[in-house]
Amino acid sequence: MPDTPAAAARQILIRLHEVMAARTNAQVKLNKVVEIIGEALSSEVCSVYLLREGVMELFATRGLKQEAVHVTRLAPGEGLVGTIAKNVETLNLDEAAAHPDFAYRPETGEDLFHSFAGVPIVRREKAVGVLCVQHVDPRRYEEVEIEALQTVAMVLSELIANAGLADEGPSDVRIGGTGTQIVSGLQLVMGMARGQAVFHQPRITIEHTVAEDVEAERARVYSAFTKMREQIDTLGSTSEFGVDGEHQEVIATYKMFAYDEGWSRRINEAIDSGLTAEAAIERVQQRTRMRMRQIDDPLLQDRMHDLEDLSNRLLRIVSGQLGTAAQLGLRQDAILIARNLGPAELLEYDRRRLKGVILEEGSLTAHVIIVARAMGVPVLGRVRDVRHLINEGDLILMDVTENRLFIRPSPDMDEAFESKLQLGQKRRAKFAEMRELPAVTKDGVKIELMVNAGLRDDVAALDVTGADGIGLFRTEFQFLVSATMPQRERQQRLYRDVMDAAGDRPVIFRTLDIGGDKALPYLHHDDDMVEENPAMGWRAMRLSLERDGLMKAQARALLEAAAGRTLYVMFPMISEPWEFEAARALFEHQRQWLIERRKMLPASIKYGAMLEVPALAEVLDILLPQLDFLSIGTNDLTQFLFAADRAHPKLAERYDWLSPAILRFLNRIVRASEAAKVPVGVCGEMGGRTLEAMALVGLGIRRLSITPASVGPVKAMIRSLELAPLGEKIQQMLTKAPANMRQALLDYATEALVDLN
């Protein structure tokens, strides 16, 4: 066996090229193919299964019993072959029978063989077949052999498609039909939008996989790489967002992938094996997709999506099929449909025409979502089979806030949607008129309304909403959108810019909350530590105190950025008082270091803690005397109190923020904070909902930090509210809890004419 994947695959492809050129029928060709591959890999068995009538059918084999051909059939997910097809993944097993999905088929005679390796034969991103090899002796196949199989599978895809042997994957013909459909997905960027469906790009089907001239194919790829990099460079220099925004850091990460030598080397190796330029790019892209399916870390998955986005761009350039909807131009208000999008591709669209985006994939941490939010474009993700539910030109209504997507709506639906859109505009106009008015109750109690932020551009929401400041600035966002660890100078520049933009309004900086489910790809973790529950794992303050170099750099950046001003610092995920003491001591040590070097310092520093871990409530008497302020993080606190992951679809709505358990717990914290004369606020989704916010201020909360979109509705609620009778009513309810606390509070709001919008 040759010692490189390229040489191994090239030997096989040279012989396969002769087979494919011969004037024989497809069955004869496949019979020869399995002989060639089995001989080249010194494997006793080589078999090809093809998708026929929805199941994998044994179509050709060397080594298994010939009477099993066209008889042995495995459904998707059944047996090793069915598992490969269903998951579009590679299997490499030294003992096939030990795999939980192994299914024995006595007619094949495969009980003689122990080792097994199989790869999917992919057409239009779907498995249309499986190519597998088996060996008598238990052994894992070498990487060189697996890569040779994957390359051969690409060529077989062309042969199978040309001969019409297998069921095709989804075609470019849209099967959405003409009827109205209402679907939901994952809410990525909130908002409403109306427009005609436009598909981001036509599907590129590779028709020729075996190269006639390897050097000519290599030259085509080099040329395409040069053109693609020029496009990315131009995009980075002409972005309308300015040179300092986090979206530019997104583009910088994207650019890093475009110039990645490892990626171009893998494509070159695929060309060396005898593939055309298009097939080589697709070959590497298929492997990327398989890796993505094995990655649990959502941030790493998102970075792999960036690489796939670049692969699509490169493939379009090398094939000459450059016509994305962005390049062709949007002629009317459009809702963009795509499997996924890269940030660069989204930036190419005309913002005047692009009204919304629907993705078959997508996640909250994806780079494209950061860019979409900066553009003000609503995005709904994880809409299954969206590219096959919708026809080009269909009327689409998006209501991401309600998590509803109307496809080909009826006239009544369209009219109702338009009314809601106009109502929303009127409500926003009403809230805009209140922008300069304070959030004061009818009986004269001032409530601080602050906003949550994480990007430089988010500070603009202060002027738009009239908020009192930033109650939670998530400093980890800068780390999540960066390809490498942000240096102290870059952190300092961001913090200074945010405080400059906020002016006299306070900004509460939360120190890094990374780790757990917010892992950084460039921050190495213990390889043997797999966190089964990352939300309760090695994250936030736990990680920062262990890796104090991170926190020292952030402390210096914050201290120097706040020179001459009041610096508000908040430590997340505090479980015990000593953690707060250690974090504050670290900041004070850095402050002393700067004093010794005659650096300008903040006029004062206010230290606060987030109460997210229920255990902290039991030691508030120890902690509160050390605090300048306390913030309750209701998102994590709720799931920890109920031992219920709020991201779990079956649990998300099961446990109510207005349950007596939550309100009694919060009441205890508020009473303790009042006794210690420590200001207490809430930052979290709970404070952004009008009924829940009413309950919070009734408990005694006087500072809410919420999303910018929630400021108007919550302010209107506060200004319609008389606080004293509400406080008495809630204390009565906590003493003797009603059967339905939410309904009881709703009834009170209705009777008291509280504006819940």
Long-range contacts of 527-530 (CB under 8 A, 24+ apart): none
Give the least confident one: 236-250, 380-394, 501-515, 662-676: 236-250
Residue pointed to by tokens 């229920």: 614
Work out the average pLDDT over 430-443.
Answer: 88
Task: Tell me how far apart the alpha carbons of residues 240 and 245 are, in angstroms, rounded to a whole number.
Answer: 10
Task: Tell me how far apart the alpha carbons of residues 507 and 558 are, in angstroms, rounded to a whole number.
Answer: 11
Average per-residue pLDDT in the chain? 83
Task: Tell me how far apart the alpha carbons of residues 325 and 333 are, in angstroms, rounded to a whole number.
Answer: 13
| Cα radius of gyration rounded to whole Å, the chain | 30
Q: pLDDT tier at 49 (50, 70, 90 boundaries)?
A: very high
Task: Tell me how far apart the alpha carbons of residues 757 and 220 are, in angstroms, rounded to a whole number.
Answer: 60
Work out the average pLDDT over 46-58.
Answer: 91
Cα–Cα separations (whole angstroms), residue 253 to 297, 302, 368: 18, 12, 12
Q: Which of 50, 69, 16, 38 is nearest to 133 (CA)?
A: 38
DSSP 130-188: EEEEEESS--PPPHHHHHHHHHHHHHHHHHHHHHT-S-----SS----SS-EEE--EEE
More confident residue, 344 or 490: 490
Structure tokens at 469: 């400041």
Strand ranges inside 421-528, DSSP E: 448-453, 470-474, 507-510
Listed in sequence order, the residues at least 6 apart from 263 whose beta carbon sits closer than 8 Å to its beta carbon are 257, 284, 307, 310
- Return the pLDDT at 39: 87
Is 601 in contact with 559 (CB distance < 8 Å)? Answer: yes
Q: What are the helix (H) ranges across 631-735?
A: 634-642, 660-675, 690-699, 708-719, 723-735
Q: What is the pLDDT of residues 354-396, one digit of tens each?
A: 999 999 887 765 667 767 876 778 999 988 878 778 888 899 9
Residue pointed to by tokens 């009477």: 67
Task: Tell me how far apart the alpha carbons of residues 332 and 324 are, in angstroms, rounded to a whole number.
Answer: 16
Listed in sequence order, the residues at least 6 apart from 330 whose beta carbon sits closer than 8 Å to its beta carbon are 198, 349, 350, 353, 354
Residue pointed to by tokens 């949607």: 417
Residue pointed to by tokens 């929303």: 424
Cα–Cα separations (whole angstroms), residue 630 to 260, 603, 607, 666, 727: 45, 21, 9, 12, 21
> Residue 332 pLDDT > 80, yes or no?
yes
Q: pLDDT tier at 608 (50, 70, 90 boundaries)?
A: very high
**pLDDT over 70 for what percent of the chain?**
83
Task: Tell me how far apart the alpha carbons of residues 59 and 163 are, in angstroms, rounded to a whole number.
Answer: 13
Is 702 in contact with 725 (CB distance < 8 Å)? Answer: no
CA 354, 356, 360: angle at the middle one, nearest 5? 125
- Return the pLDDT at 175: 40
- Return the pLDDT at 325: 72
- Return the pLDDT at 731: 95
Q: What is the pLDDT of residues 731-744, one digit of tens each?
A: 999 999 999 999 99
Is 694 in contact with 745 (CB distance < 8 Å)? Answer: yes
Q: pLDDT tier at 171 (50, 70, 90 boundaries)?
A: very low
Q: What letter represents residue 1's amino acid? A: M
Cα–Cα separations (whole angstroms), residue 41 to 11, 96, 158, 238: 11, 18, 22, 51
Structure tokens at 682: 């809430």
Beta sheet of 73-74, edge-to-edge order? 73-74, 55-62, 45-52, 126-135, 115-123, 91-93
- Return the pLDDT at 515: 58
Q: What is the pLDDT of residues 186-217, one digit of tens each?
A: 888 888 999 999 888 655 667 677 777 888 88
Q: Which of 352, 317, 306 is nearest to 331 (CA)?
A: 352
Q: pLDDT tier at 300 (50, 70, 90 boundaries)?
A: low
Structure tokens at 689: 């909902």
CB burial string 25-59: b at 16+ within 10 A, e below: ebeebbbbbbbbbbebbebbbbbbbbbbeebbbbb
Q: Which of 385, 225, 423, 246 is nearest to 313 (CA)?
A: 225
